[in-house]
Structures are given as C-alpha cells and as structure tokens.
Amino acid sequence: MNLEDLFLSFSLLGAEWVLWLLVGLSLVGVAIMVERAVTYRRLHVDARTLMERLAGFLRRGDRKGAVAWLDGQRGLEAAVASAGLKESDRGAAAAEETMAGVRQRERLHLERNLAFLGTVGSNAPFIGLFGTVLGIIKAFHSLAGAENAGFKVVMADISEALVATGVGLLVAIPAVVAFNVFSRRVKRILTQSESVEHLVLAHVKGEDLPRPDATASDSTETRSPRAPKLDPAQEPAR
C-alpha cells in the first residue's frame, strides 16, 4: 500500500471521529471555564477598600496590625502587601523584590489553563474544516462506487460533512470569549496588586527618610563658625 492509498483509507473514515474530538475539547473547555470562574470569584476583593484600610494602619505606624489584618484577607492584593510588610525591616529593596516574587508566582496560578482555551478557540474551526474535508472525500468516494447514486445522495453526504465545520465554530466561539474575559480579569488583579505594592513601598521608603528634627539638628551643627575677631593692632584707625 502506497502513501496515497493510506491517506485515502484514512479519509474514508469520515468526519465522525472529528466530531467526537470536538465534543471532547468542548467538555474540557467548559470544565476549565467553570473552574476559572469559581477561582476568580473567590479571589475577588474590593481593592479600593483594602487600600484605604491598609493606608490607615500604615499612617498609625501599626505595621504588625496591618500584617495580621492582611493575613485574614483573601486575594492576591492582600498577599502581596503582607509579604512586603513582613520584609520591610530589611529595607525597601527587599520588600519590593519579595512582593514582585509573590506576584509572579501567583500569576502562574491565575493564568493556569487559559492557554488551552486560547488554543481551542484558535484551532477548533480548522479542526471542524478538516472534518468537513474528510466528509466530502468520503461522499465523492461513495458516489464513485455507487452505480445509481444521484445528485441528492451526494448533497446529503456533503451536508452531513458540513456539520463538522459548524460544530468547530460552536466550540471555538465560547472558548475565545472566555479566554478574553479571563485574561482581562487576570490583568485587572495584577494591576490592583501593583497599586497595593506602590502603597507599601511609599510607606517603607518614607520611614527610611531622615526625620525633620534630625535634619534641623544636623544643620545647626554644620553652621559656619563666626568670623574671628580682629586683633586690636589690626583694627583700622578711625
């Protein structure tokens, strides 16, 4: 059997197995959509309220109270702020790197399985089209082998083959919509976590600045000394 006969025998399988493949991809995609929707809903927080409450703790200088309160909150924003405050004793640079690490680690969790939705949304129409091509090949092969087959028989087989293209589009559209919605949700969460990070860094860097009283005392000590008095012999005659 040569390569052409092998491909022909494969093509005569028709589009049925392609339809089952699309159905399987659709079921997996729906499961991912539900799981991601539940995850994002569980991680949802009111970022504005969280930042206002955190700013209140920081203005009072109650860093331990802020950490204790943040550890009881949900969401990436609270986790980033808590990690930064716990490392703030080591300086602003250490706090910044710690918060960036937490954000990058949680980003992998937020984006989990989104690539599958994007891949299905991009390729499901082509998979359906492939099934349609296989169905058309099978229809014409059946027409060639049947002596009394007419135009209606061919059109019936072709219409059945076109079902694969329709199913491919039906699978792709929800996957693309879910991918776009979830990607925007991830971007929003990451942006809010960056805003909380800037709030924590502003507090930590503000504590590192010299106090006004210390600055005043330093300036007093560094004043230029008074000009020395002239010797009476050097004073100009009046």
Q: Whole-angstrom Cα distance, residue 39 to residue 59?
A: 33
Q: Provide the pLDDT for residue 213.
A: 54
The answer to the question of residue 231 being in a domain is no
The answer to the question of residue 228 being in a domain is no
The structure's pTM equals 0.75
Closest CA to 78 of 106, 59, 97: 106
Q: Whole-angstrom Cα distance, residue 24 to residue 22?
A: 5
Contact predicate 131/222, CB 8 Å? no
Q: Provide the pLDDT for residue 169.
A: 93
Q: Provide the pLDDT for residue 238.
A: 45
Range 12-35 average pLDDT:
87
The answer to the question of residue 75 being in a domain is yes
pLDDT over threshold 60, residue 118: yes
- Longest distance between any two alpha carbons in the chain, whole Å: 141
* Number of domain units in the chain: 1
Give 78 or 6, the one with higher predicted confidence: 78
Give 193 or 156, the one with higher predicted confidence: 193
% of residues, the chain, pLDDT over 90: 33
The answer to the question of residue 97 being in a domain is yes
The answer to the question of residue 226 being in a domain is no
Q: Provide the pLDDT for residue 210.
A: 56
pLDDT over threshold 50, residue 217: no
The answer to the question of residue 218 being in a domain is no
| Domain carrying residue 87 | 9-205
The answer to the question of residue 1 being in a domain is no
Joined tokens for residue 66: 């802020």
